[in-house]
Every structure is written in C-alpha cells, then in structure tokens.
A and B are shown apart, each in its own frame.
Chain A
Amino acid sequence: MLTSFLTDYVRYVLKGGTKFYAWMGSLAVLIVGMLYVFYLQNTDGLIVTGMTSQIHDGLYFANLVFLVGVAAGAVTIVFPAYGYHHEGMHKVAVLGEMLAITAVTMVMMFVFAHMGRPDRLWHMIPIIGIYNFPHSMLGWDVLVLSGYLILNFICGFYYLWCKYTGNPINYKWFMPLVWVAIVWALSIHTVTAFLISTMPARPMWFHSMMPIRFITTAFAAGPALIILIFMIVRNNTKFWVDDSAIKLLTTIVIWCLGIAIFLTMSEVVVELYARTEHANGLYYLMFGLHGLTKLVPWFWSSVVLMVGAFVLFLIPRFRNDMKLLPIPCVMAFAGIWIEKGMGLIVPGFIPTPIGEVTEYYPSFVEVLLTLGIWAFGFFILTILLKGAIGILLGEIKYGGQAVAAK
C-alpha cells in the first residue's frame, strides 16, 4: 500500500504540461548553479563570500532567520483550521504543512551554506558527537527546527495518506500532534530570536522585544506568501481555495504587519532618543555611520514597502479584490525580507564590539547560492503542493488510476 502511494504520488507529480516543465527546468538550472558555488565555497573557503571576521553572518544567516519565520507562519492556517474549525482553512491546512516542510528544509540548507565546516556537522549529533545542550542556543534551535520538520511531516503526510486510502483519520493521536505542532511553531521562531538576542556583545540585538518582533513579522510574511501561493493554486489547478480562507489570512497579515511596524517604531524612538553608542548599529542602518551607507537604501525601501503595504491593506478595495490583493502581499513579504534579513543581521555587527566600522555586501557566490536554495525550495514546494492537491482532489487514490494534473 505504501509503495502504491509512493508510485501513484510520483507518477502524478511527474505528469505535467510545458509550463510545469519549464518552471521546474529553470529552477533546476539555478540549483545546479548553487551546487557549483557551494563547491567553490567549500574548497576555497568563505573568502568567496562577502563575510569577514568583522561581519561574519550575512545573506545566508539573514535568509535562515527569515525562513524560520515563514515556516512558523504556516501555523496561521493550521491554528484557525483546528482551533476554530474554520471551514475554508481546514480544507487547505495540509498545504500549510507542506509549506512548513519546505521552509524548514530551506533553513537547513542555509545552515549548511552558512557553516565554515559543513563536513563536520556530525559533531553536533548526540552520542557520536557532542551536543551542548541546554547551554547553546544554537543547540536549541537545531532541536526545535528538526522537531518541527518531523511534526509537520507526520501531520501532513498522515492526513494525505488517509485521504489517499480512504481510511478515517485517527483523531486520538492526530489531534494532540496537531496541537503540539501549533505550539512548536511559536517555539521555532522564539528560539531563533533568542539565538541573536542573548548576546550582550551585540547591543543592537540585545533586547527582549526580539522574539515578539520575530513572531509578528513571521505572521505577516508567512501568510502573505501563503496568500500568493493560494492565488497561484487557484489560477493553475482545479483546486479551489475558498475566499474565506484568504480573507482570514489577509486579516492576520494586516494586524501582524501593523504590530511589527509599531515595534520597529518603538525601537527607533528608544534607541535614537538617548543615542548611546549602543544605538550605532541602528543608526548605521538608518543613516549610515562614518560615511558608510550601503544598507541605508535597504532600510528605507523596507520602510516604504511595509508601511505602504499596511496602508494599502487598510483600503477595502485592495484587501477585498482578489486581483489587487497580491500587490500589498508582495510588498509586505519583500519589506519584511529586507527588514528581518539583511536589515537586522548585518547592522548587528556594525560597529564591532571594539568599535570598528566596516561594511558587508554579498558577493556573487552568496547571491547565486541564495537564489539556488530559494529555487530548490520552490522546486520541492511545487512537488509537495502538486501531490497534496492531487490527493485532496481525489485524483490520486488507492486503487484508482492517477489522473494527469493540469
């Protein structure tokens, strides 16, 4: 039965039109490029990136942090679906789980990209290696991320399996697992925030607002991406995502975005009013420091994007018209990607703890590797969503012939 599930699943996913193959093909090209630069980076070293001993976390770490948020954002579907029995959400809950699986996988790839010695990752595995638990926050992060991946994998594929075989879902253990996954989603982003906010050496990050800021930005960027994906699903497959689901997600995006903007504003006021040396990082981000201003355009573009998206969302025409809705969604997603990625990570290192002001800009290798990981993410997301939708539509069914997807 399991083999027939796998073969039916694969057979269904592989069938597709030119559009599908063109999409997957172009992603594959980027993935090959990624493999090449990953090889470069692991023979010549991190010198091929823009990172230095001064600024040693860059684009990879920024994307890692952001994508943990996207993974956590999947809970904005799962929680209303199971907590509030929201009809429209319940129908698509499994798609959210597929997105979470993808995002966590991408996070793990960014971990590999980030490490100086990925060949030694096994040193972290308990028993054969050493796992500095509970002291190391990175240890906690690895724990919650792999746990989240496993939880979503089990919940998502068990649900699909039941739909495939026609067996009823065993709610006795399925529901507790879903609830654990919901709380777990909060934990992954909280721990990721602790990862950087527990370092007094980096005053820009050293404040207790970090976890809630992470959660709000995650619950804005995550569902914004999910709305966009649902739009694509609606337009390209026979599967229909209910308006009610998209409406609820829109509401979540709007108010999480609003709180995120408020928190950023509070931080700016607190830091710049006193303007101690500890505010240098933020000052560098906003206005530049000692004539170095590479991140200034990033910051202000993210402000424009986030505030602009919030204003557009508040206009009923934008949030109700499904044709216009993607515009503020893209803006919110891009704005948060900048703010929480490069805009948060890089200025944390400027100036260094001994006051040195240097700059960072990603190299071509970093950009290509990052693009490659995103391409890989979309690659597996396409597969996962296509398979899941096939099962939800009943096109992949035990005993039935797999029907070609559109």
Chain B
Amino acid sequence: MALNENSSAVPAREQAAECPVQPASADPSQAVLKTSRRDFLKSGGMLSMSSLMGTAALMAQSDDAKAAVEWAEHFQKNYRLMTKEEKDEARARLERRYSSEYGKQVSVDTTDAQPGVLMGYALNIRKCIGCRRCVHACVAENNQSRGTQRAGEKIEWIQVLRMERGKFEADKMSHGYPEGLGIQVGGNAYTPAGQVLEGQYHYNPEKVPEQDATYMPIACMQCEKPPCVKVCPVRTTYREPDGVVVIDYNWCIGCRMCMGACPYWARRLNVTNPVLPKEEMNPVTHYLGNRPRMRGVVEKCHWCLQRSRHGRYPACVEVCPVGARKFGNLLDPESEVSKILERKNVFRLKAELNTFPKFFYFYD
C-alpha cells in the first residue's frame, strides 16, 4: 500500500459536516455568533468574576474582542466547578475568540458525558500495517500544533512504534560474553527485536508494511487509575464519568508533573504558541477536547470527545484502512469492544503498573 499522508485528513473533515447527530453548537453554520456581546452580558444571571473582568476590559474601550476575551479567560474557574451559566459564558467567550482568530465560525461543544456510556478502545495489533494515517488524521482533527520551523512545534498524540523483527542466526551461535574468556554466561546469537530506538516512530518508508518490522501504535490509554491525574496539583486533568481523562487547558499551570507520571508517554507540552494555520483549523471543537490550545499547557488524546460524545468514532478509528482500531461502549454487551473483550486474546500495556487502561491490544 502506498503512503499518502494527506489523503486521510480531508474525508474526516467532510464527514464532520454531515454528521446526523450534532450538538447545538457543533454545527458551524448556527454556532455562537448569534450570541451578540449584549446577549452575552445579559445572559449571565449571576455574574462570575470572569465575566466581570471581561466586562471591565470591554468597558475600558478595548476594541480588540480578542484581548478582552483573553483577559476574562484568565479569571475563569476550573471547568469542572463551573455552573451551567459559567460554562455557557466560557463557551461563548471561546467561540468568539476562536472565530475572530481563525476567521471562521468555530463552535465549542460542552456536551457532558452521556449516562450509561463508558468508552473503551481495542486495537488489533496483528492488523496494523504502520501506515500512520491515524497519526495524521488525529493531527488534522484535533488541532495540534504542526509547525516545522523549530523542534517542538510539531505535536502528535499517536505514535506508531516500528519494532524490528529480530532474529537468531546460526553463524552467531558462538558469539557471547564474556567474549573469548572461559565459560560464556550469555549469548549474542540474536539481533535485538522489539527495541524502540530514537525517532523510530518517525520512520518514512516507500511502502508499508515493511518486511522486517511490526508496528505498535500507542496513545493515551485513558487509564481507570490514571497516575497523571493523581499528581496534578491543580486538578486540571481528571477522569470524566464516561472514562476519558481530560484536561482543562485554561486551568493547566504547565508544571508537567503529569508528563512525568504517565507510563505511556501520552502527554505533550506546548513549548511555544501552537502553529495552527487558519485554513487547517478544525472548527468543530469540544471544550475538553480539540479546541485550540495555548502556549505552556499540556495536551493529549481524548478519544475525540467532540465526535465520540455524539455517537461518532474517533478520527483514528474512522481513518484506519485495515480496521485495526475498534471503539465503543464498554457497558454495552453488543458493542464491538465488548465483543472483543469477550472473545479475543487481549492485553494491556504495562499492566503491572495497575493503571487499568481502557485501551486494549488484541490479536486474531
């Protein structure tokens, strides 16, 4: 199969527009902008500190809506503790800022976890061909920084690790250590297999799958006992009732404890202002999901909340050409994931750490 990096991104976007179940504001055509500034100020029955600050900035004759909105953003609460009104305010604020910043109508969804849904993921490790379309579809869907000028401007949430197929060879049978000294305590008849070396998920072959490699895709495991959540000093990252570990980007202080605690290296730091070209920005966003991030905060995979909370597959599942990726409701016995857990040989990565991922690997 030939590789085409961009082929995946476009259909994913097109489908977003024709999705039947859309949140009130996820449809860009009827988003926010009907909320005028006046409505916005009126609607706040109880004016929170953030709206007061925003109003102050507006009254201070700041023509720049963006500046005023950013100022108000500084004083908003942790998302989880916001009242319904405050959430609406925050959402309106963000929609206005993003819309002016990216020159298109951007919607910020605030749909909560749906009752009776616990999301789960399963990946058929035998099927993966290492095309990395999931990686690119993820970047396009989730508004990651994609600069190329400086290292660190490019952020990808999924890594497809390329694992070498090592082998044991007859002519190496006598190789070992200590070399040429007494009785050998160990042999070196093998070529290392399954070792991950620097940059190996940046491989770029003509064709995939390669003869001498197997592939191991990794992203956030959405652990049931996430170590990253435990260490967060400000509780900006937490587990949602539907099982997804999310981040309130506006509350993150950038201390990076979560990155140190994650055993799967799932988290990325925005080391600079994200590079996100206007024309490539995906305007259908979720507050806890793919809305544009800012400098100095941590981000990671959230199973495309902007899609999955409306009954759609995450972008990586949708784009996978071999159907290696399965996603669904763990509480629904008829879902694909439940069937896989019931019938296949499944394993979790680093199970010994007791993080209880809801991301399973399986093979036929």
Contacts and interface: CB of A to CB of B under 8 A. Distances in A.
Contacts of B235: 130, 132
Contacts of A201: 227, 260-263, 353
B257 A121 contact: no
B53 interface: no
Nearest to B350: A353
Interface in B105-129: none
A396 B357 CA distance: 64
A177 interface: no
Contacts of A349: 260
Contact of A114 (B152, B197, B255): B255
Given A124-B233, A138-B255, A354-B265, A51 B196 contact: no
Given A46-B271, A201-B263, A116 B234 contact: no
Contact of B268 (A53, A118, A292, A355): A53
B99 interface: no
Given A135-B230, A200-B353, A53 B197 contact: no
Among B195, B199, B234, B259, residue most surrounded by chain A Cβ atoms (within 10 Å): B234
B236 A123 contact: yes
Contacts of A200: 227, 263, 353
Interface string A320-361: 000000000000000000000000000011011111111000
A394 interface: no
Summarize A's interface: helix, strand, loop or mixed. loop
Interface stretch (B36-44, B55-63, B132-140, B246-254): B246-254
A353 B262 contact: yes
Contact of B197 (A54, A115, A119, A355): A355
Contacts of B155: 53
Interface in B248-293: 251-257, 259-265, 267-273
Contact of B272 (A44, A138, A290): A44
A117 B252 CA distance: 8
A199 B231 CA distance: 9
B271 A45 contact: yes
A274 B273 CA distance: 44
B61 to A, nearest CB: 24
B263 A116 contact: no
A354 B265 CA distance: 6
A239 B81 CA distance: 56
B59 to A, nearest CB: 23
Nearest to A136: B233
A144 to B, nearest CB: 13
A269 B312 CA distance: 53
Nearest to A142: B233
Given A56-B259, A354-B265, A51 B271 contact: yes
B232 A136 contact: yes
A129 interface: yes
Contacts of B198: 290, 292, 356-358
Contacts of B269: 46, 51-53, 56, 116
A124 B270 CA distance: 20
Nearest to A352: B265
A10 interface: no
B296 to A, nearest CB: 3
Contact of B232 (A47, A54, A118, A132): A132
A136 B227 contact: no
A120 interface: yes
A138 B233 contact: yes
Contacts of B254: 46, 115-117, 120
B259 A53 contact: yes
Contact of A130 (B200, B234, B353): B234
B231 A138 contact: yes
B319 to A, nearest CB: 22
A377 to B, nearest CB: 22
A396 B298 CA distance: 51
B269 to A, nearest CB: 5
A66 B231 CA distance: 21
Interface string B153-170: 101000101000000000
B227 A130 contact: no
Interface residues of A, number: 51
Interface residues of B, number: 53
A45 B296 contact: yes
A196 B260 contact: yes
Nearest to A292: B198
B50 to A, nearest CB: 12
A53 to B, nearest CB: 5
A139 interface: yes
B270 A45 contact: yes
Contact of B234 (A47, A123, A358): A123
Interface in A127-145: 129-132, 135-139, 142
Nearest to B74: A119
Nearest to B261: A199
A213 interface: no
Given A115-B254, A201-B261, A354-B196, A47 B230 contact: no
A354 B273 contact: no
Contacts of B236: 123
A57 interface: yes
A124 B252 CA distance: 10
Contacts of B261: 199, 201
A116 B195 contact: no
Contacts of A119: 74
Nearest to B267: A53
Contacts of B251: 120, 123, 130
A349 B235 CA distance: 24
A139 B256 CA distance: 13
B202 to A, nearest CB: 10
Interface string A196-216: 101111100000000000000
B233 A116 contact: no
Interface in B198-256: 198-201, 218, 227, 230-236, 251-256
A139 B259 CA distance: 16
A353 B263 contact: yes
B264 A353 contact: yes
Given A53-B259, A117-B297, A199-B261, A45 B253 contact: no
A349 B198 CA distance: 13
In the A-B complex, the 5 residue pairs with the closest CB atoms: A116-B254, A116-B296, A355-B196, A45-B272, A201-B263
Given A45-B296, A356-B197, 11 more contacts: A46-B296, A52-B271, A57-B260, A116-B252, A116-B296, A123-B78, A130-B251, A353-B263, A353-B264, A354-B161, A357-B198
10 contacts: A47-B150, A56-B269, A57-B260, A115-B253, A115-B255, A348-B260, A354-B196, A355-B197, A356-B197, A356-B200
